[in-house]
Structure 1
Amino acid sequence: MIVSERTTEKGLLVTVCDPETLGETYESGDISLTVTEEFYGGEEVTEDAVVDSLSRATIANIVGTEAVELAIEHGYVDEANVLELESTLHAQVLRLA
């Protein structure tokens, strides 16, 4: 999986995506999501590194079946809040202090 971390005024923004989703656009009804290199590009890392990044995230954007399922498995995302966009999954996390 590919992970990026950015410090923002709202806290740590983490993006995670499955490698094959990078550069793709997914649509469902009125929703369109383009997985750009600019926003989702980063380092290819292990599952443990993804879980570590998500544990510290204030905001997270997650794209890809593998990445979203990992976030669900570790309790960062509720499966009921996952969007299905064509052949992939998308989830967002916002931690309120």
Structure 2
Amino acid sequence: MIVNERETPEGLLVAVCDDDVLGRTFEEGELSLTVTEEFYGGDEVDESAVIDSLARATVANIVGTRAVELAIEEGFVDEANVLEVDGTHHAQLLRMH
């Protein structure tokens, strides 16, 4: 998986995606999701590093079936809040402090 972390005035923004969705656009009806290198590109990491990043995130955007499954398994995302777009999954995390 690929992780990109950015510090913002509001906290840590984390973008996570499966390797195979980077650079792709998913469209379904009115929905369009583009997994850009600019936003999602970063370091290729293992699952434990993804978990660590999500644990520290204030906001996270997660794209890809495996990345979203991991976020659900680890309790970061509720499966009921996952969006499916053209065969891939997308979820967002917002942690209120």
TM-score interval for Structure 1 and Structure 2 normalised by the shorter chain: over 0.9
Aligned partner of residue 20 in structure 1, secondary structure: helix
- Deviations, residues 36-71 of structure 1 (Å, cap 9, x unaligned): 000000000000000000000000000000000000
Shift of 1:87: 1.4
The 2-side partners of 1:95 and 1:27 are apart by: 28
Matches within 5 A, 1:59-78: 59-78=59-78
Identity of matched residues, %: 70
Gaps of 5+ in 1: none
2:33 is matched with 33
RMSD: 0.5
Q: Which runs of 4+ in 1 moved over 4 A?
A: none
**TM-score of the aligned structures, taking structure 1 as reference length:** 0.98
The 1-side partners of 2:58 and 2:71 are apart by: 14
**TM-score of the aligned structures, taking structure 2 as reference length:** 0.98
Gaps of 5+ in 2: none
Shift of 1:31: 1.2
2:2 is matched with 2
The 1-side partners of 2:73 and 2:10 are apart by: 26
